[in-house]
Each structure stands twice: as C-alpha cells, then as structure tokens.
C-alpha cells in the first residue's frame, strides 16, 4: 500500500513539474518581451553626436551636439538642404550671397558679417571639428527651407511634405526595434497616441512616432486615423530677387569689335541688323589672373546706339585676349581670389556706368568644372552690383548638358536678368566630326533643358549666322567657316543644288571633287525660320545672332519679325 502511494505521489509530482515546465516555456514563448533598447546603441551615437533622420531614413552622417546646438556636416547640408554656401579660403569663412548683399560666416565665430557689418549670433554659426566643417541648424534655417527637431539621441529633418498615413494606438503598447514580441522596446506607447505608417505589413507595421522614433508596432494595436497634412517649412526671409525687364521681345546682335576703330562700323552693322533692340559689342577681355582687362569701349558708340533706340550691353570675355596675344588666363586663380573677384566685378559695373551703357553681357567660356563653384559665386556678387547700379546682367551659356551643369543655369535664372543660350556649336570647327552647327533637335532640346531651369521670360536663344564646310580626304578631315552672307556665292561657284534635310531642318549638300568629299549643312532662311518657330512655340523672351556682319537682310527681316511679337 505504501509503495503504491509513493508511486502515485511521484507521478503527481512529475505531472506538476511537467505542467509548470511546459507552461513556463509556453509563457516564455508567447509573452511580450520587456527589455528596453539602449538608444545610444540603437542609433549608433555617443554623447557628442546625434543620428540624422532625413525624412524617414537614418543617414550615414551624424550631427554634432555642441553647447546645446545641433550642427550638421557642411557637405551634408550642401547635398540635402542648400548648396549655395561658398567657402572663402582667404577669410576662412562661409559666404552666402543674397539678392542685395554678401554675408560672411567666419568659421568658429559667434557673428556674421553682412557686407562687412557685424551681426552677433550668440553661438558659433560654424565649427571646424573632426576634420570637417559643421554648420548650425539654427543658422541654416535662415538660408534653406526645411524643418528640424532635435531630440536626445537624434535630429529629424524634413525637406518634403505631403499627407501622412496616420494610425491611433488602441491600447497601451510598445514600439519595438523589429517586428516581433521579443524585440527590444524603443519606448512605450500610450492609448490614443498617434503614429505614422511608413510600411504596412501583415501583422506588424513600420511606424514613426511623434518624436521621430522609427520602429515596429503590431497592427492589432492600431486603428485607422485621418491623414495628417504636413505643414511645409516657411521659405527663409531673404531679400527678394528683382530683374530688369524691358517691354517686348528682345533682338540682340553681337558686334565683334577688334580694336577701337571697329566701333566705326556701328552704322554699317545696324544697316544689316534690322529690328535690333540690343547691341552687344565685344569690348572687354581679361588679360591676366588678377582681373586686368583690355578695353575698346566708347561712350560715343553708346550715345549713337541710344539715338537709334538701341540698348548697349558690353561684352566681357575670358578668351579673346588670349587668342590675340597667346597669354593665358587661369580662370580658377582669377575667380577663387575674393579680392580679385570683387574688384573685377566692381570694375565691370563702373566701366558700364561710366560710358552710359545699359548692361553687361558676361561671356566666360571654356571653364573647367573645378572653376564652376568660383564662377557661380562671381556671378552672384556681380548680380548684386548690377542691381545696385540699375544695369542689366545677361550671361552667355552653352547649350546645357550634364557635363556643363556647373555653370548653374538654375542660379543664373534667379541672379541674372537674361540667360542667353548659344544655340550652336553642335559640331565645332577643328573637331574632326562633320555635322550640323545647329540642327533643329539640338536647338529644341537645348531650349527644353534650359526652360527646366530658367523662366521663359529670361531666356534668349542665339542663332549662328555661319556654317562649316567639311572636307574629308581619306582619313583626314579639315574644315572652314562659311558665313551666311557668302553662301549664295559659294553655292553658285560650286554648282550646288542643296536638298532639304528633314532631320536637321537644313538644306544640305555633299559632293566629291579630286578625291575629297565635301559636306555642308546650310544656315539660310528656311533653317532660321524652323529655329524661330521652335523658339516661338516655347515663348522665350528673345533672339540673338552671332554675329553682325555675317547675315543677310532677308534673314534679319525674319529675326525682326520674331522681335515684333510683343507678348512680353
């Protein structure tokens, strides 16, 4: 009897132990974990750094926490917030040029200089630390449209806004590092708290809390809520850009002047260029890396043009003197120097004002991508001076492609009064690549690319009044310019019968003589009409021509007809 009792008790104990063992395993398996994440470890930061959350993504770069202020790496700020700061090595400062002034932010100092006048910040606007430059988010808000919220371990930035997909928490729960009840808790969520759905899944969803913690919450703990319309950041309170804008469409003729005596040809070129509203004489060319220049400018020329109701925009280039003398100008050295850059800009404006000219036409060609950032800063500083003086600023540009984006048409479209596209050089002399100087596709695509960056009311497209005769002799390709006013004689002398090429919208001829193959895509009334139609369809502000002396009265009558459209 005792033996049976002992056996029974043992069995009961085994059952009890088994019950508790299995039950504990079941409880452990299905109960919610209560371990909290180390938030520094979760974000990968230390006491001196903050994780950067841009929109809904944690970035590789981190912010810096100094003196209660959040600083972002300058390279990060330039990539995502604004790329319009310029590092001025001579001052060890960041420059920011607005419509009316240039502001200097010395690295590590608690003030900025606005055109030399000191304004205290009460904190360093910039820092040099850890091998890079940092800029305070408080200061950045004065120059870029974004929102920022700084938390204990992270900083939240928004540059885009929309309708957020919101959910209400139905019962007290947690947001976890991953989907799963055993995942580490990032923080507790209270009933009726709102979260934003970032990615909805079957049982768990990726969400963001009101304090920008991104993690996972069970779907059964949430219910649908009305969408939240996110409020965009206010635009920075900066001086507004203004532009000079005469009535009507503009017809600009470039006047190539090769010496002071060249100014005497004004009457002759204007007799050819009917309907011109602006003449741009090539008077000024840089001569060295220090902002020196040679000038053929004439106040009498300006007065004579004004008598005919024609504005004068003085052309400044960086290449004609070099072609004349063989002396090279280092554009990077020139424009990266603050003193040289500013003295040159002031000289340009002073020269223009002193002879009574109406504006400046900036024609800096062949710049390297390295020079781009310095060139853009020069354009901004020159723009400020032109606005103060009340004179026009127009800027010549190549047809835009990815490889010349550093000319920054988007910034030019804000800073300058007019952006002129040199709608030619599709195939260039000396390239060894026969083809059209300006096919219709090249012109139309170039205008579309420009208009994606610049308002149509500021765009002028320049036509070529010349073409290239290509000669192929075996493996050797040579070429020569043929001006429009010489084409008729050229066609007659060579007994040519040009045929219309629909692809380029140009008349075309090819022939062989003495083993040499010749090709030429003509610029004539038909090709000019096609280009003017493209320009008219895009309602750009004006037309230009390179150059006076190359055209015919018939073509200038066509151009004059474009200028007579006064939609603007």
- pLDDT (tens, 9 = 90+) of the chain, 568 residues, equals 566 666 766 667 675 665 555 555 545 566 999 999 999 999 999 999 999 999 999 999 999 999 999 999 999 999 999 999 999 999 999 999 999 999 999 999 999 999 999 999 999 999 999 999 999 999 999 999 999 999 999 999 999 999 999 999 999 999 999 999 999 999 999 999 999 999 999 999 999 999 999 999 999 999 999 999 999 999 999 999 999 999 999 999 999 999 999 999 999 999 999 899 999 999 999 999 999 999 999 999 999 999 999 999 999 999 999 999 999 999 999 999 999 999 999 999 999 999 999 999 999 999 999 999 999 999 999 999 999 999 999 999 999 999 999 999 999 999 999 999 999 999 999 999 999 999 999 999 999 999 999 999 999 999 999 999 999 998 899 999 999 999 999 999 999 999 999 999 999 999 999 999 999 999 999 999 999 999 999 999 999 999 999 999 999 999 999 877 655 4
Q: Give dist(CA 536, CA 307) in Å, integer.
A: 29
DSSP states along 240-304: PP-----SS-EEEEEE---SGGGGGGHHHHHHHSTT-SEEEE--EEE-STTS-EEE---HHHHHH
The single-letter DSSP state of residue 238 is: -
- Enter the tokens of residue 376: 């853009």
Q: Give dist(CA 175, CA 247) in Å, integer.
A: 62
| Angle at the Cα of 156 from the Cα atoms of 152 and 161, rounded to 5 degrees | 155
In 3D, which of 465, 428, 454, 437 has the Cα closest to residue 543?
A: 465
Amino acid 563: pLDDT? 77
Please answer whether residues 249 and 544 qualify as being in contact, where contact means their C-beta atoms are separated by less than 8 angstroms. Answer: no
Q: Which helix (H) or strand (E) holds 324?
A: helix 320-325
The neighbouring-strand residues paired with 155 are: 52, 150
Domain borders along the chain are: 41-158, 163-229, 250-465+523-563
Q: Give dist(CA 125, CA 127) in Å, integer.
A: 7
Please answer whether residues 456 and 538 qualify as being in contact, where contact means their C-beta atoms are separated by less than 8 angstroms. Answer: yes
List phi, psi (to 5°) of 546: -105, 110
The b-or-e profile of 301-311 (16+ CB within 10 A means b, else e) is bbebbeeeebb
Match domain 250-465+523-563 to its CATH number in 3.50.50.60, 3.30.70.890, 3.20.20.80, 3.60.21.10: 3.20.20.80
Amino acid 475: pLDDT? 87
Would you put residue 59 in left (φ > 0), alpha (ψ -120 to 50) or beta?
A: beta
pTM of the prediction? 0.92
The single-letter DSSP state of residue 55 is: T
Residue with tokens 């710049």: 367
How many Cα neighbours within 13 Å face the side chain of 353? Answer: 13
* SS3 label, residue 305: helix
Amino acid 23: pLDDT? 54
Dihedral sign (CA 545, 550, 554, 556): positive
CATH superfamily of 163-229: SH3 Domains (2.30.30.40)
Q: How many helices (H) and strands (E) does the chain have?
A: 15, 36
DSSP states along 159-224: S---EE-EEEE-SSEEEESSSSTTSPEEEEE-TT-EEEEEEE-SSEEEEE-TT--EEEEEGGGEEE
Q: Give dist(CA 146, CA 428) in Å, integer.
A: 44
How many Cα neighbours within 13 Å face the side chain of 467? Answer: 26
Amino acid 20: pLDDT? 56
Q: Provide the greatest CA pair distance for the chain.
A: 139
Match domain 41-158 to its CATH number in 3.30.457.10, 3.40.50.2300, 3.90.1280.10, 2.40.110.10: 3.30.457.10
- Enter the tokens of residue 268: 């002759």
Q: Give dist(CA 296, CA 54) in Å, integer.
A: 54
Q: Give dist(CA 95, CA 456) in Å, integer.
A: 29
In 3D, which of 142, 155, 68, 61 has the Cα closest to residue 105?
A: 142
- Please, which residues have CB within 8 angstroms of residue 227's CB and are 6 or more apart in sequence? 163, 164, 165, 166
């Amino acid at each position: 009897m005792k033996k049976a009792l002992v056996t029974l008790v043992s069995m009961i104990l085994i059952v009890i132990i088994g019950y508790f063992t299995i039950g504990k395993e079941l409880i452990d398996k299905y109960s919610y974990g209560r371990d909290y994440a180390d938030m520094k470890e979760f974000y990968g930061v230390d006491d001196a750094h903050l994780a950067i959350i841009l929109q809904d993504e944690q970035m590789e770069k981190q912010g810096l926490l100094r003196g209660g202020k959040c600083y972002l790496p300058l390279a990060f700020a330039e990539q995502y917030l604004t790329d319009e700061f310029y590092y001025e090595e001579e001052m060890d400062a960041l420059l920011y040029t607005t419509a009316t002034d240039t502001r200097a932010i010395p690295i590590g100092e608690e003030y900025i200089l606005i055109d030399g006048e000191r304004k205290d910040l009460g904190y360093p606007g910039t820092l040099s630390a850890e091998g890079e430059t940092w800029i305070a988010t408080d200061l950045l808000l004065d120059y870029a449209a974004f929102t920022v919220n700084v938390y204990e371990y992270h900083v939240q930035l928004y540059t885009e806004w929309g309708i957020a997909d919101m959910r209400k928490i139905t019962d007290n729960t947690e947001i976890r590092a991953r989907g799963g009840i055993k995942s580490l808790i990032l923080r507790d969520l209270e009933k009726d708290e709102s979260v934003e759905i970032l990615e909805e899944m079957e049982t768990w969803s990726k969400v963001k809390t009101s304090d920008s913690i991104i993690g996972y919450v069970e779907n059964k703990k949430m219910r649908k809520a009305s969408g939240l319309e996110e409020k965009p950041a206010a635009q920075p309170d900066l001086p507004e850009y203004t532009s000079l804008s005469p009535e009507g469409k503009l017809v600009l003729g470039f006047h190539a002047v090769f010496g002071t005596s060249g100014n005497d040809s004004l009457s002759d070129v204007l007799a050819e260029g009917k309907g011109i509203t602006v003449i741009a004489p090539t008077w000024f060319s840089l001569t060295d890396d220090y902002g020196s220049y040679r000038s053929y400018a004439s106040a009498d020329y300006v007065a004579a043009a004004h008598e005919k109701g024609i504005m004068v925009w003085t052309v400044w280039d960086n290449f004609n003197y070099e072609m004349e003398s063989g002396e090279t100008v280092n554009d990077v050295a020139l424009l990266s120097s603050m003193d040289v850059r500013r003295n040159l800009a002031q000289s340009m404006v002073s020269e223009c004002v002193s002879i009574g000219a109406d504006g400046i036409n900036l024609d800096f060609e062949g710049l390297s991508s390295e020079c781009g950032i310095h060139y853009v800063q020069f354009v901004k500083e020159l723009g400020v001076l032109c606005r103060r003086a009340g004179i026009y600023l127009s800027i010549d540009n190549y047809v835009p492609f990815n490889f010349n984006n550093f000319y920054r048409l988007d910034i030019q479209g804000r800073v300058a009064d007019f952006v002129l596209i040199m709608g030619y050089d599709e195939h260039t002399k000396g390239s060894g690549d026969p083809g059209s100087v300006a096919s219709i596709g090249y012109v139309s695509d170039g205008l579309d690319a420009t208009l994606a960056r610049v308002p149509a009311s500021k765009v002028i497209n320049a036509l070529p009044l010349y073409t290239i005769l290509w000669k192929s002799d075996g493996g050797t390709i040579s070429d020569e310019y043929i001006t429009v006013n010489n084409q008729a004689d050229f066609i007659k002398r060579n007994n040519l019968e040009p045929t219309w090429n629909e692809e380029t919208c140009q008349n075309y001829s090819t022939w062989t003589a003495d083993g040499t193959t010749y090709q030429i895509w003509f610029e004539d009334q038909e090709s000019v009409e096609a280009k003017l139609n493209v320009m008219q369809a895009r309602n750009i502000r004006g037309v230009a021509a390179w150059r006076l002396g190359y055209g015919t009265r018939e073509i200038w009558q066509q151009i004059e007809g474009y200028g007579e459209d006064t939609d603007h």
